[in-house]
Amino acid sequence: MNTSDTSTTAGEDVTRSYREILRATAMTGGAFVVVLCLSMLRMKLVALALGPDGIGFVGLLTAVLDVAIAVAGLGIQASGVRQIAESVGKNDQRSIASVVRAVRWASWVTGLAGAGLVALLALPISSLTFGTPAHGTDMMVLALAVLLRLLAAGQASVLQGSRRIGDLAIINIFGALAATVAMVPAAHFWGEAGMAGALLAASAGHLAVSGWFARKVQFAERPSWGETRSELPALLKMGAAFMVSGLVTFGVAYFMRIIVLRHGGIAEAGLYQAAWAIASLYASFVLQAMSTDFYPRLTGLQNATDANRLVNEQAQVSVLLAGPGMIATITLAPLVLALFYSPEFGEAAATLRWMCLGMALRLIAWPLGFIVLARGAQRIFFWTEIAAGAVHVGLALVLVPIWGTTGAGMAFCGLYVWHAALIYFIVRRYFGFEIDERTLRFSAECLGATIVAFAGVCLLPFWPGIVLGLLLLGWSSLRALRTILPLLAPLAGLSRKLGRVRPN
């Protein structure tokens, strides 16, 4: 094969890889649009029924549930994704069947154990969270939700490891629908007293849908119990690192709400919850695509050069797709809060803007962090997660007493300034990752535009700041379209009209 043929083939491979990323993002993104609409409806109606105090209460219940799941699950569902993806990459059908059976069995064991533990500790958990044991009954209801959520997570890990992206997208839609159907009537008829039951009902709906789709994953051969049991040590070993990660992530989220609650009361916790939910919402469709498709793909790659290229491509697509959303949210924060919740949540605008600035950094750092996961470097993964949790809580303890809920947003932004620098140092030094010129340029443009929009709304008079933000939003949106559309063959004509920019 001559040089030109080789170059052509390499270019086709790169374009195909971009299209794989965009396909996965489009599938999750299409589901995201539906989930977004359902979430907007749910947030709005629940906020109108409960107000900031009630939203703070729901946020605390959710934080307790997430921490319990992280501890009880032992990280088995996440490590199952990795092992299934590895076996899929090797086309080892018997190994896939063994891991799937092990994950399903372990989900029952950990779910029952977790539910029992939360039920036994219901009163102490209520006292730690709310300062009173009066919500012990709510904690016992959440114990049942722990079991259902872990069973659903086990089913989802089987689908994710098998890269059944379409099924996962549908599950997300029905999960959001179940949460909306459960929470809105409960909020209006029973108020805060109905919220734990609504979370349980939503968990049951999610399990029913995930179980239906997981039934499609069948194997010609049924592995023996010995083969299934042989997969458990690896699941538990890597799962321990994932458990620590989940415990740190959700534990920090829990303590952040406790810090805000102790400093400003339940209404301030509600403002923090509102800002966090919106900041996470738009970025989540890109981050979910990473964990759903990118992580299994990266795990299955054996060639370091291919892995390096894939990480760069994912980082580019992430900042191009999510950057405009971050700029829009920063620019129109009070309007967004009023739209999603109600005008009384407008006080959270500054918190939301700081969080969006941190999310922009998170979008850059996350693809790099998946290198550590894909290579199974448990020790590095463990300590980076522990350090991240310590930095986040430490910053909050300093900043929240000074600036209140806004200080919590500052703490999140400060965390990702530190974490992005640390994770880049780690993956470059220990895994040979090299950021390419294109990724560096896109990241700098996205981050620069986000910072300028943030500075504009904070430092300029109202209308000049809004106009500057909208101009940056238009520029970043056009930039994303001009870059992404050439990769989508059916839209090539439109890309030429916008001024084609081809991937290098």
Per DSSP, the residues of 167-196 read: HHHHHHHHHHHHHHHHHHHHHHHHGGGGHH
C-alpha to C-alpha distances, 112 to 1, 71, 125, 126, 209, nearest whole angstrom: 59, 13, 18, 20, 20
HEC secondary structure over 41-85: HHHHHHHHHHHHHHHHHHHHHHHHHHHHHHHHCCCHHHHHHHHHH
CA distance 384 to 80: 21
User: DSSP assignment, residue 294?
Assistant: I
Report the predicted TM-score, pTM, of the whole model to 2 decimal places.
Answer: 0.77
Nearest to 471 by CA among 457, 485, 487: 457
- pLDDT value of position 6: 43
Query: How many CB atoms sit inside 10 A of residue 23's CB?
Result: 14
Which residue's structure tokens are 């009954």?
Answer: 137
Length of the chain measured in residues? 504
Q: Is residue 117 one of the residues assigned to a domain?
A: yes
C-alpha to C-alpha distances, 171 to 35, 90, 94, 287, nearest whole angstrom: 10, 27, 26, 17
Measured at the CA of 366, the angle between CA 365 and CA 369, to 5 degrees, comes to 90
Q: Positive or negative CA dihedral for 315, 317, 320, 325?
A: negative
Q: Is residue 503 one of the residues assigned to a domain?
A: no
Chain Cα centroid distance, residue 33: 16
Nearest to 147 by CA among 180, 118, 179, 183: 118
Backbone conformation region of residue 499, classed left if phi is above 0, alpha if psi is from -120 to 50, else beta:
left
Q: Is residue 441 one of the residues assigned to a domain?
A: yes
Q: Is residue 6 one of the residues assigned to a domain?
A: no
- pLDDT value of position 29: 60
End-to-end CA gap in the chain: 21
Which residue's structure tokens are 């907007």?
Answer: 40
CA distance 256 to 133: 20
**Cα-flanking dihedrals φ and ψ of residue 265, to 5°?**
95, 175
Domain containing residue 60: 12-498
Whether residue 184 contacts residue 42, with contact meaning beta carbons closer than 8 Å, is answered with yes
Q: Is residue 187 one of the residues assigned to a domain?
A: yes
**pLDDT digits (tens), the chain, 504 positions:** 454 444 444 455 555 665 666 566 656 666 777 887 888 789 889 988 998 888 999 999 999 999 999 888 888 877 887 777 777 766 667 777 788 888 888 889 999 999 999 999 999 999 999 888 999 999 999 999 999 999 998 888 888 777 777 788 888 889 889 999 999 999 999 999 999 999 999 999 999 998 888 877 666 667 777 777 777 787 887 777 778 778 888 889 899 999 999 988 888 999 998 999 888 876 676 666 666 667 667 776 767 788 888 888 888 888 888 889 899 999 999 999 998 888 889 899 999 999 999 998 988 888 888 888 777 777 888 888 889 999 999 999 999 999 999 999 999 999 999 999 999 999 998 888 888 888 899 889 989 999 999 999 999 999 999 999 999 999 999 988 888 777 654 444 444 544 444 444
Q: Is residue 1 one of the residues assigned to a domain?
A: no
C-alpha to C-alpha distances, 214 to 32, 290, 372, 411, 478, nearest whole angstrom: 21, 21, 28, 39, 39
Say which amino acid occupies 83. Answer: Q
Number of domains in the chain: 1
Whether residue 135 contacts residue 63, with contact meaning beta carbons closer than 8 Å, is answered with no
- pLDDT value of position 424: 92
Q: Is residue 7 one of the residues assigned to a domain?
A: no
- pLDDT value of position 133: 92
Q: Is residue 4 one of the residues assigned to a domain?
A: no
Whether residue 142 contacts residue 199, with contact meaning beta carbons closer than 8 Å, is answered with yes
